[in-house]
């Protein structure tokens, strides 16, 4: 049996086991917070580290008067918090007894008569109770999945550093580097912009936010969830490391590592004999890292199995019903971009058969779908594009690590649709209408945010807060999308990796390579 089919079979098995756990084992909702009685309602007595309450920045001593599930819709459930039993332990009438795993609950603070009770509300996305039977059954799968992800994360920094240094140092003259870099950046910006415009067209045509019953308050304060206003200048500033050794110790500092690797590779070409020695060291290091990657990636079928059991058993399909049209819009845009836009570029610009290229890239796409991380998929993408796609190392070592950080077609598309979806809802409940200028700003901000987003799970959701703040829209809307983010994250990561691989093939063709998909002669450099 081929490795590809082995991965697919374990993937199907993971889905089946996960769904079986969801249907057969109890998973009570859990927030990791303990309340105590007080005169106004209930006071936070303790917060479990790492719990949903801790992630929502809930702190001891805060007072709440009510909890609301399904705000604003016909199924809204408001529960007055007069005692700790109203939250947990009050039978079927308590909050956690009525809530579902993955549901977002809003905790209301004491408010003056006549004021908006939802102003300053705290959004709390519930998770699975770790003491429940399903959580206990999931524990070994979560452990195995976490170990597999940790092994992939371990490869990221050394692979990115060594591959870019050897790639740039092997390009040759500054003229060659300028040409290859120009083509790469032009492709990344063009495909991300095409993805954003496609998403903008679909969300304005389908209008999933119009008439939606999301229950979000238009009076919520902008920036209440702590969104940072990361501008393009901030992204550029972060790209220049003040201490490269500190950046090498942080997977989130990919832009800094890439910037240093580009400079190091370039100056190796200008350092004569000493540069040749350093280049050979990095080439040897890169070969060793690729062997290590091959060993770790032999565990891919079992890692995919464990990850899909974890995801499917934890979320299933129940949390997605209320946002089905929104999810459908995002999924449709991702499908159109991946099966129409990118294949057209492959066919017209790269002169390649899109179907054959997709078949060759299937291991990387399956890994991207299961890990939801472009960065963690990078070792698989490098190996797949070189060995199955037959693209030279000179191209892959330059384009793919860069693409895993700044080429986020799926993320850019998702951010555009998510922001406009929430804006459509706010226009219905609070009269906050988007102007043409606002739409243009969303396109630009989605492009820049996708460049600055880390290649880690759910990074796009974090960057969405920046765009909402720039539009002066309440950022609490992004919290509602937490319940449906995981499956969309898996899809958009697959599109990100698919775009990276298409870019490597197109750029390889433009550099005069007889491949992709054909054997390359002349060694690793092609």
pLDDT at 439: 78
Contacts of 504 (CB under 8 A, 6+ apart): 385, 389, 391, 395, 396, 399, 400, 403, 516
Rg from Cα positions in the chain: 24
Per-block average pLDDT, block size 10, for the chain (526 residues)?
A: 73 87 86 93 94 87 89 70 89 86 82 75 82 90 87 81 81 67 87 92 89 56 39 68 87 76 88 91 89 83 85 62 81 96 93 91 90 82 91 86 80 87 74 69 73 53 63 64 72 92 92 69 39
Q: Residue 443 is encoded by which pair of tokens?
A: 């396109």
- Please state, in angstroms and rounded to a whole number, the distance separating the CA atoms of residues 377 and 407: 14
d(CA 390, CA 396): 10
Which tokens go with 390? 């037959």
Helix (H) or strand (E) holding 404: helix 393-406
Q: pLDDT of 335-383, one tens digit each?
A: 999 999 999 999 999 889 999 999 999 999 998 888 777 877 888 899 9
Q: What is the third-level CATH fold of 139-207+232-510? A: 1.10.3860
409 CB neighbour count, 10 Å cutoff = 32
37: helix, strand or coil: strand
Q: 304 to each of 148, 188, 366, 411, 455, how far by Cα in Å? A: 9, 28, 8, 22, 18
The Cβ of residue 174 has, within 10 Å, a number of other Cβ atoms equal to 11
CA–CA gap between residue 526 and residue 519 (Å, rounded)? 10
Written in H, E and C, the secondary structure of 191-259 is HHHHHHHHHHHHHHHHCCCCCCCCCCCCCCCCCCCCCCCCCHHHHHHHHCCCCHHHHHCCCCCHHHHHH
Q: Are 519 and 390 in contact (CB under 8 A)?
A: yes
In 3D space, the residue among 225, 224, 221, 209 whose CA is nearest the CA of residue 429 turns out to be 209
Of 48, 50, 20, whose CA–CA distance to 137 is shortest? 20
The percent of residues in the chain predicted with pLDDT above 70, rounded, is 79
- Report pTM: 0.62
Nearest by Cα to 302 from 409, 471, 155, 148: 148
User: What are the pLDDT digits (tens) for 77-96?
Assistant: 889 999 999 998 777 889 99
* The CATH number of the domain covering residues in 30-128: 2.30.42.10
Q: Average pLDDT of the chain? A: 80
pLDDT at position 372: 78
Note whether 30-128 and 139-207+232-510 share their fold.
no
Where are the chain's structural domains? 30-128, 139-207+232-510
């Amino acid at each position: 049996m081929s490795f590809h089919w082995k991965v697919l079979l374990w993937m199907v098995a993971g889905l089946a086991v996960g769904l079986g756990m969801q249907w057969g084992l109890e998973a009570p909702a859990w927030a990791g917070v303990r309340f105590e009685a007080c005169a106004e309602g209930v006071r936070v007595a303790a917060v479990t580290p790492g719990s949903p309450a801790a992630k929502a920045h809930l702190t001891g001593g805060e007072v709440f008067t009510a909890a609301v599930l399904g705000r604003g819709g016909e199924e809204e459930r408001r529960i007055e918090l007069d005692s700790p039993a109203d939250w947990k332990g009050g039978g079927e009438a308590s909050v956690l007894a009525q809530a579902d795993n993955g549901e977002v609950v809003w905790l209301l603070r004491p408010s003056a008569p006549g004021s908006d009770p939802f102003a300053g509300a705290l959004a709390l996305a519930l998770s699975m109770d770790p003491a429940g039977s399903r959580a206990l059954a999931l524990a070994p799968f979560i452990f195995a999945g976490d170990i597999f992800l940790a092994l992939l994360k371990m490869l990221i920094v050394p692979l990115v550093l060594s591959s870019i240094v050897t790639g740039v140092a092997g390009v040759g003259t500054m003229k060659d580097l300028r040409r290859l870099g120009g083509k790469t950046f032009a492709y990344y910006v063009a495909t991300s912009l095409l993805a954003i415009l496609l998403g903008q067209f679909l969300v304005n045509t389908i209008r999933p936010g119009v008439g939606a019953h999301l229950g979000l308050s238009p009076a919520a304060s902008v920036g209440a969830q702590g969104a940072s206003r990361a501008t393009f200048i901030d992204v550029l500033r972060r790209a220049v490391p003040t201490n490269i050794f500190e950046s090498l110790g942080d997977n989130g500092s990919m832009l800094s590592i890439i910037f240093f690797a580009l400079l190091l590779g370039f100056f190796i070409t200008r350092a004569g004999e000493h540069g040749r020695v350093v280049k050979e060291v990095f080439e040897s290091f890169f070969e060793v890292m690729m062997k290590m990657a091959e060993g770790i990636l032999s565990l891919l079928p079992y890692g995919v199995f464990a990850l899909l059991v974890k995801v499917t058993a934890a979320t299933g399909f129940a949390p997605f019903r209320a946002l089905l049209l929104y999810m459908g819009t995002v999924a449709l845009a991702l499908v159109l971009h991946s099966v129409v836009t990118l294949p057209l570029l492959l066919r017209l610009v790269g002169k390649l058969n899109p179907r054959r290229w997709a078949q060759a890239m299937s291991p990387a796409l399956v890994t991207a779908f299961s890990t939801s991380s472009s960065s963690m998929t990078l070792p698989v993408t490098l190996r797949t594009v070189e060995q199955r796609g037959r693209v030279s190392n000179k191209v892959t070592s330059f384009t793919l690590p860069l693409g895993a950080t700044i080429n986020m077609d799926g993320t850019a598309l998702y951010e555009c649709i998510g922001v406009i979806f929430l804006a459509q809802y706010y226009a219905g409940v609070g009269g906050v209408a988007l102007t043409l200028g606002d739409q243009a700003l969303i396109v630009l901000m989605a492009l820049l945010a996708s460049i600055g987003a880390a290649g880690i799970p759910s990074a796009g959701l974090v960057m969405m807060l920046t765009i909402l703040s720039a539009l002066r829209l309440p950022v609490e809307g992004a919290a509602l999308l937490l319940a449906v983010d995981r499956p969309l994250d898996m899809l958009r990561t697959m599109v990100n990796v698919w775009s990276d691989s298409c870019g490597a093939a197109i750029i390889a063709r433009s550099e005069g390579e007889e491949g992709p998909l054909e054997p390359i002669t002349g060694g690793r450099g092609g």
